[in-house]
Structure 1
Amino acid sequence: MKVPDCVKSRMRPFAPSPTRRTLLRDMAALALGAVSPLSFAQHGGLGLVTPPIRLDDIWLVDQTGRKRLLNDSLRQGITALQTVYTGCGTVCPLQGALFSAVQERIPGIRSGHPVQLLSVGIDPLSDSPSALRAWLARFHAGPAWNAATPALADVDRMRVALSGSTLPLGDIADHSTQIYCFDANAMLRWRSADLPRVDDVCDVLGALGRA
C-alpha cells in the first residue's frame, strides 16, 4: 500500500535507516488505510505519531496495589495501551476480548524487546486493585497483561495526551476505544482507529519491536 506523500514528508526529519524507514512506513499505512473521515474528526490524529511523544509521568496503582510511574511501566517493553473502566458493560468487554486475542498472538511477534499490554482504568473511584484483578481474570490475562489506574486528577490529562485531540472530552461512557502503541523508550508511536483489528495491533507491535 502506498503511503501518502504528506506522511512521508513528515517522517523525513528522523532520517531513519532503510529498514527502520520501511517499518515506520508500514505502520503509518496500516492505520491510514483503515480509518474513515469520521474517525479523523473524533480524534486528534490516527496512525503514526510524528514526532513521537512522551506522556507526562503520572503515578498508577496496578492490580496488585503496587504504585509505579507510567513511564517506568512503559519502559518494560513494547506496549499496547487501552483505556477502560471496570464497570463498563458496553464497549469495554469488546476491548478486553481484543486484548485477549492480541495476548494469544504475542509469542509469535518477532521483537527485540518484551511485548506487553496495559489496560488503564479511567474511573479511579471504582477501578480499585481488586476490580482490576477481577477484570483481568475475566479475560484470562497472563503475565504480559497488566492493569492500572491513575489518580482522579490525572485521568483527563492522560486521556487528552493519548488521543491528541483538542476537543473537549466526553463522559467516560463515551471513552475512546483506540489502542495506543509505545516503543521501549516510552514514546507514543501509533494511535489506532476505534476497536482496531487484532492483526493491525500485532503488526504495529512487531514493527516497533524490530525498529
Structure 2
Amino acid sequence: MRAEPGESTLVERSSRRVFLRDAAMLALAAAPLSSYAQHGTSGLVTPPVRLEDTRLVDQTGTERSLNSMLLDGVTAVQTIYTGCSSVCPLQGALFSAVQQRLQQTRGRYPVRLLSIGIDPLSDSPSALHEWLKRFQAGPAWTAATPTLRDVDGMRMALAGSRLPLGNIADHATQIYCFDASARLRWRSADLPRVDEICNALGALGRA
C-alpha cells in the first residue's frame, strides 16, 4: 500500500527524531564523565532542601511557581539551555530514555520530568516547546525558565555549590530528584545513567 504524501512526511519526521535521539544516547554512553564539570555534591541530600519558590514561565507561556510544579509528585529536574549544541542534547536524550522507562513505574505519586532553561534571554516558551518536541516529550515532561534575576540563584541552589557560576556553558549535568513535598532529596553525579535516575524516582514514588 502506498503512503499518502502527508503520511510519508510524518514518517520521515518521526524517523529523524528517533535517529537523533538514538545518536545522542550513543554519544552519552561514550562521553567521559571528566569532560564535564560537576558542581557541588552528589548522592542523598540530608537534610532535604526546599528551594525558594521562584516564578517560572513554561513552554506554553504560562507563569507558574516552582512549588506548584513539584508538589504532589516526584520530579527529576535538569538544567539546560535550548541553544546548546554540546552537552544539552545528551541531557535531552537522557530524559527521553528515562521517560520511556518510567512508563512501567508505579508508585504512590505521579512521576514527572522538568527541564529548567538557564538562559532566560533565549529560552523563550517557543524555544522550550521546540526543544521538548525534539525529544518527543510526553505530557509528564515540562520545560520552564526562571527570570534573569532568579536563574543564577536557582542553579546554585540545585547544585549545592557556593562557588560563582561563571560562563553559562559551564553548567552542571547533574539530575536533581524532588519528593512529593517539593524537597530536593537526591543529586546525581554528572551525566548519570538512566537506571540511576529511574531507581531514585522509583524509591521516592514509593516512600
Normalised TM-score (structure 1): 0.80
Q: Which amino acid aligns with 1:155?
A: V
Percentage identity across aligned positions? 72
Q: For residue 151 of structure 1, what is the aligned residue in structure 2?
A: 147
Q: For residue 115 of structure 1, what is the aligned residue in structure 2?
A: 111
In the alignment of these two chains, the number of paired residues is 174
Question: Unpaired runs of 5+ in structure 2?
Answer: 1-32
The answer as to whether partners of 1:79 and 1:205 remain within 8 angstroms in 2 is yes
Report the secondary structure of 1:108's partner residue.
coil
* Whole-angstrom CA distance in 1 between matches of 2:61 and 2:203: 32
Using the TM superposition, give the Cα deviation of residue 152 of structure 1 relative to its aligned residue in structure 2, in angstroms: 0.3
* Whole-angstrom CA distance in 2 between matches of 1:170 and 1:185: 31
Using the TM superposition, give the Cα deviation of residue 42 of structure 1 relative to its aligned residue in structure 2, in angstroms: 4.1
After the TM superposition, which segments of 4 or more aligned residues of structure 1 sit over 6 Å from their partners? none
The structure number with the bigger radius of gyration is 2
* Whole-angstrom CA distance in 2 between matches of 1:126 and 1:152: 11
Superposed, 1:94-105 pairs within 5 Å as 94-105=90-101
Using the TM superposition, give the Cα deviation of residue 43 of structure 1 relative to its aligned residue in structure 2, in angstroms: 2.6
* Whole-angstrom CA distance in 2 between matches of 1:146 and 1:58: 16
Question: Unpaired runs of 5+ in structure 1?
Answer: 1-35
Q: For residue 129 of structure 1, what is the aligned residue in structure 2?
A: 125
CA RMSD, Structure 1 to Structure 2 (Å): 1.5
Q: For residue 202 of structure 2, what is the aligned residue in structure 1?
A: 206
Report the secondary structure of 2:185's partner residue.
strand
* Whole-angstrom CA distance in 2 between matches of 1:180 and 1:79: 8
Normalised TM-score (structure 2): 0.81
The answer as to whether partners of 1:63 and 1:128 remain within 8 angstroms in 2 is yes
Using the TM superposition, give the Cα deviation of residue 76 of structure 1 relative to its aligned residue in structure 2, in angstroms: 4.0
Candidates 53, 58, 74, aligned match of 1:57: 53
* Whole-angstrom CA distance in 1 between matches of 2:38 and 2:204: 25
